[in-house]
């Protein structure tokens, strides 16, 4: 035997003696590991190097880490290792376990009690087929990371109130119910994910979460208003879409760290109010544009007949509206002569699209335009001495409202400047009284030809109309 071999043998022997004398985990911890192997189909694991070896070898088993002295198990990391079956129920025997990660396996059954694992800092069992509820986490004050995303977990999210070290919490993509627990007392919380569940109730207060970088609670049934984001100056993204949230969206944090285009607020039932900061954060202008189908249909507020009176300017004749679905039996008379007219219909919010139809009378609607809340309908070929009804259907608003409608009925009778549906000498007299006056708000209807001046020409038009009348409306 060479000197080198002898030295190696002696060294190995010393280490072996040390192992027997000091480096052994408690029998109770070995039992938990053997249970884990058996209950999760260890024989079929992708890698199981050294597992089930003699007592004293546990710290060499694949995925197991012990403390420096080899006296206790501190980490179990068995990611993506074809674990099947369920986790053993006696994990709490691993009193010094700091991390347990079994993500990406085919585990079934429920998550065992964890509360005895007072040293646990990280728990991961994401992307398995776990069922049942999330166990209580009360008293696990060392817990920093908890990730069970992508299972079939049911029940509610446990209380997190005393988890003062919690930084990452992810229970997304399960079938969880109940409400989101209080988060306000978690000063180290960085990310909270609970998306794609069936959670109800409100988003809890987020005050004091100064380290928070990400919230993802989208695709649930959350209601109520979005809480204030005051003080969340590290928040990078805020995903609350696909719920039934109402009210006004809160202001972005000040200063804001929200990344452009990384947050989503819609669909929800939020009030569509202008907010350029949320336009930027959602990457959508306006931020509420994708709330399609949820906003209420636009409703007609008022209408008018607009004419340009040459150099005198534009004068708008207000038109009376009927309460839908009634037909207006007392429509406003427009005495200014055709055959063109411009009808402006004003809705309660900015318009995105609509269909115009002339549902009564002889007139042709030209290309309608809209500007803000106003829809402008140019008419040509408007016959004199008749009623015209301009009907708007499929009225969509910029906030995503659809299916609005509205109509206005106008009586066209040139020269009927006192608007009593018949042209008489009293109309003639009213025009006559204004001749040579400037056209203004008080007399613009007497400028029958809308020339911008009051002359004998207006009186002449009225004169040719004498005795003409509108039918009973
Ligand atoms: Ca009259
Ligand atoms: Ca005139």
**What's the pLDDT tens digit per position in 357-377?**
999 999 999 999 988 899 999
Percent of the chain with pLDDT over 70: 93
Most confidently modeled range among 12-26, 276-290, 386-400, 436-450: 436-450
Give the burial string for 380-395 (b: 16+ CB within 10 Å, else e).
Answer: eebeebbbbbbbbeeb
Ligand 2 mean position to 454 CA, how many Å?
A: 4
Lookup result for tokens 């115009």: 356
Torsion of CA 181, 184, 190, 191, to 10 degrees: 30
Residue 308: half-sphere exposure toward Cβ, Cα within 13 Å: 4
What is the 396 CA–ligand 2 centroid distance (Å)? 39
pLDDT exceeds cutoff 50 at 2: no
d(CA 465, ligand 1 centre) in Å = 10
Closest to 257 measured CA to CA, from 301, 309, 214: 214
Containing H/E element for 353? Answer: strand 351-360
Phi/psi-derived region of residue 174, left when phi > 0, alpha when psi is between -120 and 50, beta in every other case: beta
Q: What average pLDDT does this structure show over 414-425? A: 97
Only one residue has tokens 């306006």, namely 286
Report CA(425)–ligand 1 centroid distance (Å). 8
- 447 C-alpha vs ligand 1 centroid, how far in Å? 15
CA dist list (Å): 27 to 21, 41, 56, 114, 133: 14, 21, 10, 20, 30
Average pLDDT of span 25-46: 97
pLDDT of residue 13: 40
CA dihedral 9, 11, 16, 22 (to 10 degrees): 170
300-428 folds as Immunoglobulin-like (2.60.40)
The DSSP result for 57-100, as a single string, is: -GGGSTTEEE-TTS-SEEEEE-TTS---S---TTGGG-TT--EE
Average of per-residue pLDDT across 451-473: 96
Q: Please identify every residue whose CB atom is under 5 Å from ligand 2, which is an ion.
A: 447, 449, 451, 458
* pLDDT given for residue 353 in this prediction: 85
Centre of ligand 2 from the C-alpha of residue 282, in Å:
54
pLDDT of residue 350: 86
What does the angle CA 225 – CA 226 – CA 232 come to, to the nearest 5 degrees? 155
CA nearest to 191, candidates 227, 224, 160: 160
More confident residue, 92 or 232: 232
Residue 4: predicted pLDDT: 44
Q: Compute the average pLDDT of residues 391-398.
A: 90
Residues with Cβ within 8 Å of residue 43, at least 6 apart in sequence: none
Contact criterion met (CB below 8 Å) for 32 and 93: yes
Beta carbons within 8 Å of 211's beta carbon, 6+ residues apart: 167, 187, 188, 189, 190, 234
User: What integer pLDDT is reported at residue 11 of this predicted model?
Assistant: 40
**In angstroms, what is the span from residue 407 Cα to ligand 2's centroid?**
30
Instruction: Pull the structure tokens for residue 391.
Output: 């009907």
pLDDT of residue 294: 59
Task: State the helix-helix crossing angle for 425-434 and 456-465, rounded to 10 degrees.
Answer: 170
Query: Measured in angstroms, how far is the CA atom of residue 335 from the centroid of ligand 1?
Result: 9
pLDDT > 70? residue 300: yes
- The β-bridge partners of 343 are 305, 377
Q: How confident is the model at residue 12 (pLDDT cuts 50, 70, 90)?
A: very low
Q: Is the pLDDT of residue 21 over 70?
A: no
What is the Å distance from ligand 2's center to 302 Cα? 27
pLDDT over 90 for what percent of the chain?
Answer: 82
Q: Count the Cβ atoms, other than its own, within 10 Å of residue 62.
A: 14
**Residue, of 372 and 188, whose pLDDT is higher:** 188
Cα separation, 129 vs 409, in Å, equals 64
Ligand 1 centroid, distance to 1 Cα (angstroms): 131
What ligand is nearest to the CA atom of residue 429? 1
Q: From CA 204, how far away is CA 184, in angstroms rounded?
A: 8
Closest CA to 108 of 91, 125, 90: 125
Nearest to 320 by CA among 307, 337, 305, 335: 305
Shortest-distance ligand to the CA of residue 459 = 2
Q: Find the ligand nearest to 437 CA.
A: 2
What was the pLDDT predicted at 393?
95
C-alpha distances out from residue 41 to 27, 60, 81, 104, 108, Å: 21, 19, 10, 15, 12
How far is Cα 311 from Cα 414, in angstroms, rounded to an integer? 21
Please choose, from the candidates 470, 428, 443, the residue with its C-alpha nearest in 3D space to the C-alpha of residue 332. Answer: 470
Q: Per-residue pLDDT for 195 more than 60?
A: yes
Phi and psi torsions of 390, nearest 5°: -100, 120
How high is the pLDDT of residue 326? 76
CA–CA distance, 351 with 354 (Å, rounded to integer): 8
Predicted local distance difference test score (pLDDT) of residue 324: 66
Tens digit of pLDDT for each residue in 264-274?
999 898 888 89
CA of 443 to the centre of ligand 2 (A): 11
Question: Residue 328 has what pLDDT?
Answer: 87
Residue 15 confidence class, pLDDT cut points 50, 70, 90: very low
Exposed / middle / buried, residue 326 (Cβ in 10 Å: 0-12, 13-18, 19+): exposed
- Number of the ligand closest to the Cα of 417: 1
Residue written as tokens 């400047």?
417
Give residue 379 CA to ligand 2 midpoint distance, Å: 21
* pLDDT band at residue 7 using 50, 70 and 90 as cut-offs: very low
Looking at residue 325, its pLDDT comes to 65
The pLDDT of 11-36, averaged and rounded, is 70
Residue 85 vs residues 36, 109, 177: alpha-carbon distances, Å = 10, 7, 25
Ligand 1 midpoint to CA 396 (Å):
39
- If one compares 116 and 77, the residue with the highest pLDDT of the two is 77
Kindly identify the ligand whose nearest atom is closest to the C-alpha of 462: 1
> How many C-beta neighbours within 10 Å does residue 348 have?
16
pLDDT number for residue 121: 97
Ligand 2 mean position, distance from CA 386 (Å): 22
Q: Residue for token digits 């977990």?
A: 153
Residue 179: Cβ within 10 Å count: 16
Closest by Cα among 56, 65, 130 to 97: 65
CA–centroid distance, residue 11 to ligand 2 (Å): 117
Residue 330 backbone phi and psi in degrees, to 5: -135, 65
Taking a C-beta distance cutoff of 8 angstroms, is the pair 184, 209 a contact? Answer: yes
Confidence (pLDDT) at 396: 87
Q: State residue 8's pLDDT score.
A: 41
Average pLDDT of the chain is 92
Residue 88 scores a pLDDT above 80: yes
Instruction: State mean pLDDT over 452-456.
Output: 97
């Amino acid at each position: 035997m060479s000197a080198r071999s002898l030295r190696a043998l002696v060294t190995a022997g010393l280490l072996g003696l040390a192992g027997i004398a000091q480096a052994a985990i408690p029998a109770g911890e070995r039992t938990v590991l053997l249970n884990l192997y058996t209950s999760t189909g260890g024989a079929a694991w992708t890698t199981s190097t050294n597992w089930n070896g003699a007592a004293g070898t546990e710290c060499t088993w694949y995925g197991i880490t012990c403390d420096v002295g080899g006296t206790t198990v501190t980490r179990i990391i068995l990611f993506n290792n074809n674990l099947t079956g369920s986790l053993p129920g006696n994990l709490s025997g691993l009193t010094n376990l700091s991390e347990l990660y079994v993500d990406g396996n085919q585990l079934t059954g429920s998550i065992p009690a964890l509360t005895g694992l007072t040293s646990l800092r990280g728990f991961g069992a994401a992307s398995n087929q776990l069922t049942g509820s999330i166990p209580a986490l009360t008293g696990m004050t060392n817990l920093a990371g908890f990730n069970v995303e992508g299972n079939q977990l049911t029940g509610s999210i446990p209380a997190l109130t005393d988890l003062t070290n919690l930084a990452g919490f992810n229970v997304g993509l399960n079938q969880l119910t109940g409400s989101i627990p209080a988060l306000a007392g978690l000063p180290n919380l960085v990310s909270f994910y609970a998306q794609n569940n069936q959670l109800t109730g409100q988003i809890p207060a987020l005050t004091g979460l100064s380290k928070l970088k990400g919230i993802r609670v989208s695709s649930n049934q959350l209601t109520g208003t979005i809480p204030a984001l005051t003080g969340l100056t590290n928040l990078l993204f805020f995903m609350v879409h696909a719920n039934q949230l109402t009210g006004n969206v809160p202001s972005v944090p000040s200063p804001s760290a929200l990344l452009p285009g990384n947050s989503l607020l819609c669909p929800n039932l939020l009030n569509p109010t202008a907010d350029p900061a949320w336009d930027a954060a959602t990457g959508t202008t306006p931020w509420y544009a994708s709330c399609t189908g949820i906003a209420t249909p636009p409703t007609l507020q008022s209408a008018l007949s607009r004419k340009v009176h040459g150099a005198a300017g534009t004068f708008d004749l207000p038109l009376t509206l009927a309460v839908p679905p009634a037909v207006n039996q007392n429509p406003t008379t427009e005495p200014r002569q055709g055959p063109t007219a411009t009808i402006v219909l004003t809705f309660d919010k900015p318009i995105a699209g609509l269909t115009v139809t002339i549902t009564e009378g002889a007139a042709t609607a030209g290309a309608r335009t809209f500007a803000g809340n106003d829809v402008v309908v140019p008419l040509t070929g408007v016959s004199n001495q008749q009623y015209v009804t301009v009907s708007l259907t499929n009225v969509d608003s910029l906030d995503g409202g659809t299916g609005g409608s509205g109509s206005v009925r106008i009586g066209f009778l040139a020269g009927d400047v006192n608007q009593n549906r018949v042209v008489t000498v009293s109309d003639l007299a009213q025009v006559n009284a204004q001749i040579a006056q400037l056209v203004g708000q008080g007399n613009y209807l007497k400028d029958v030809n809308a020339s911008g001046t009051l002359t004998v020409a207006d009186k002449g038009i009225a004169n040719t109309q004498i005795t003409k009348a509108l039918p009973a409306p």
